[in-house]
Amino acid sequence: MNDVRTLPFERLRAFFSPHSIALVGATDNSRWSVYTFQNLRTFGFPGPIYCVNPNREIVHGERAFKSLRDLPETVDLAYIMVPTQRVFAILQEAAEVGITNVVILTSGFSEMGEQGRLLEQKMLDFAREHAMVMLGPNGNGFVNVTAHTMPYGLPITPPLTRGPVGVVLQSGALASAVITMAQARHIGLSYLVSMGNETMLSATDMMEYLIEDDETQVIAVFLETIRQPEQFKRMARMAISRKKPIVALKIGRSEISARTALAHTGALVGDDVINEAVFQQLGIVRVHALEDLLITAGLLGYTPPLPGRRAGIVTPSGGACDILSDRAHEEGIVLPEFAPETVQRLQQVVPEFSTIHNPLDVTGYIVVDRMLMQRALNVVVEDPNMDFLICLTDPVRAEPPDPAPVFAQIELLGNTIRAAPVPVVVMTNTCIDITPFGCVQAERAGIHYVGGMEHGMRALGHALWWYETARQAAQHTTETNALLPVILQDVPTGVWPEYMARDFLQGHGIPVVPGRLVRHVQEAETVAHEWGQALALKIQSSAILHKSEVGGVMLNVAPEQAGCAFNQLMEHVKQHAPDVRLDGVLLSPMRAGGTELLVSVVNDPVWGLMLTVGLGGIWVEILQDTSVRMLPLRHDEIRAMLHDLRAFALLSGARGQRSSNIDALVDVIARIAQLAQTLNGSLETLEINPLLVQDETIEVADVLLSWKTRVL
């Protein structure tokens, strides 16, 4: 229900930092109420907490007030837990006494159907009219670790570490799982917000707030849907410019909608593929597990920027060296050999039975010499071939009778990391919980343990991608392409037959293989005689989208056979589709050789115009070699799409083939994209398959063009 309006940062900061709270509907009979009250008390909320219940004198051991009107002061936040039918009355009461911030835990609104949606809209209209900020309904509330403010309806067991990760969730129950894992991996949080139905305050609003929040260095978000795509895009670009990574777990693999099912593109690019492409384009790190969400966010929040992909690894295990080598290869992390001076220094440090190479196994001799890993790391951090280091070590799990040697050793590690000329990532062997004593060690040393070799290396791959993306974004200036003037006699609707679509493209400067529509045998024979070469014949009808499926295509027809082929084609199609109106047959000269590409623009209902480039022709659905981006695009981005394709080798002259004119190809694709942008309000699908590319020649050989049923 929320629109693109955003609330000012200071207004939201006041919302999330109340000095007094009223729990409306507080009762000892509700675990929601008990947990919320306990969270506020346990984590040291500094202000008064008022319990509001008209039917009880005492709730949670505190005096209960019958209504908000009876409170001794106007509270900063009302946390509402009353039944659904009473929520609106409580909103009215809050407005009457001047309360402008509300969290609504109660469910039973738009998630239940039309009646609930109407009530939710009524609440939204009222809240806006009275300058209220409303979180929920159907959400658990929020956690502000910085301000020790936890109006949150599920239990939180202390301690909860303050730190750089802000969490936004379009889920209630998963919030508790995220908190538990953050505690288990000693990942500090700034905020955690359960969004509920997002009636007013949306996930995108919250993400924008965290981008401006000084305590938050990275944003972790669980998304079920994108409610405000334009605001979301603006927010993501703001995050990149502010150097605030966003790590997103986006779920939902919707059915391919009717708009793309018209075209081959629909079999290739479903909603999830589009989401993946958009997130990549916007610089959002996408993960697929809660573990990766928190571990990746923790790495980005605690580790200095990684300047490159060359890594040095120091471990106490040969097996770990093998695992990390394989995972480094999979994540595109380079493991250079140590510099000669590093090898010489390591020979003085590690046992003589140790093999000195990267990754470095200092061996199990660390059981005898506890400082062996530390001395080896002190050498490797100085190696000029490395952009960052990975130190594989686990904190001591159980506190010994005398912890002083443990603390002394871990503090040396912390000092080495802070003095190192390159970032050092401390990675544990597995993703098991860090014990309370392990957390004490981390605090004493000021280090962050990245969770396990599998998730840790995946997090490193994500982090490296984000830093590279952020650096590239900082180098680019906005490139604006003038939209093409469009020539349309009438408001377009439905699906155009190919001959109309070809004429339309050609009229707007896009090269097309010559073609003539013929309706009679004599016309076919005349055109064939004029061209005097082998022909392609294709049936033309707006009701036939895939001509070959009804036998509507004949290739390599000799000119003298054109009339006979025309008759055969018409009769054959009439047998397969007797009720379809046929416009005639399109004659085109045959083209031989070259590479066939797919170039398609579809109008996605969430993200708008999406460009797909891929290997086309008969291979389009078999090999599924495609690259997808959201429009508008710069020329260099279109060029990058071509480089993404496995088929790019065909264009660049592999195995003695003549290379194509890539610059000209980029220009043609850019012009197709510009035309689609001009038609944005009307265009449904513009699919060119194939776009023939041969040396310097680039031509559209077939096109499908469909329109929305509304005015430009």
Lowest average pLDDT, out of 245-254, 294-303, 344-353, goes to 245-254
Question: What mean pLDDT do residues 634-658 have?
Answer: 86
Question: What mean pLDDT do residues 6-28 have?
Answer: 95
The region, left, alpha or beta by phi > 0 then psi within -120 to 50, assigned to residue 594 is left
Coil vs helix vs strand at 470 = helix
Token pair for residue 537? 């014949």
Question: What mean pLDDT do residues 398-411 have?
Answer: 96
Give the model confidence (pLDDT) of 215-248 as tens digits: 999 999 999 888 899 999 999 999 999 999 999 9
* Residue 538 CB neighbour total at 10 angstroms: 22
Gap between the Cα atoms of 33 and 27, Å rounded: 6
Gap between the Cα atoms of 360 and 342, Å rounded: 11
* Residue 623 CB neighbour total at 10 angstroms: 14
Is the model's pLDDT at 261 over the cut of 90?
no
Cβ distance 143 to 191 under 8 Å? Answer: yes
Is the model's pLDDT at 265 over the cut of 70?
no
pLDDT band at 527 (very low <50, low <70, confident <90, very high): very high
Is the model's pLDDT at 456 over the cut of 60?
yes
Question: What mean pLDDT do residues 612-641 have?
Answer: 90
E strands, 478-545, where?
494-496, 516-518, 535-540
Residue 269 has a pLDDT of 41
Is the model's pLDDT at 252 over the cut of 80?
no
Residue 354 has a pLDDT of 86
Question: What mean pLDDT do residues 4-20 have?
Answer: 89
Gap between the Cα atoms of 168 and 514, Å rounded: 55
Provide the terminal-to-terminal Cα distance of the chain, rounded to the nearest Å.
Answer: 26
Is the model's pLDDT at 635 over the cut of 90?
yes
Cβ distance 601 to 673 under 8 Å? Answer: yes
Question: What mean pLDDT do residues 604-629 have?
Answer: 88
Name the pTM for this structure: 0.91
Give the model confidence (pLDDT) of 49-104 as tens digits: 999 999 999 999 999 999 999 999 999 999 999 999 999 999 999 999 999 999 99
Gap between the Cα atoms of 103 and 117, Å rounded: 18
- Phi, psi angles (nearest 5°) of residue 90: -70, -35
| Amino acid (1-letter code) at residue 629 | R
Cβ distance 84 to 28 under 8 Å? Answer: no
Question: What mean pLDDT do residues 260-284 have?
Answer: 70
Lowest average pLDDT, out of 5-9, 439-443, 590-594, goes to 5-9
- Which residue, among 598, 633, 591, has the nearest Cα to 613 in the 3D structure? 598
Question: What mean pLDDT do residues 451-476 have?
Answer: 94
More confident position, 575 or 237:
237
Residue 257 has a pLDDT of 35
Is the model's pLDDT at 108 over the cut of 50?
yes
Percent of the chain scoring above 70 in pLDDT: 94
Token pair for residue 636? 């260099």
Gap between the Cα atoms of 497 and 544, Å rounded: 8
**Domains in the chain, start-ordered, CATH in brackets?**
9-300 (3.40.50.261), 305-475 (3.40.50.261), 514-589 (3.30.1490.20), 595-707 (3.30.470.20)
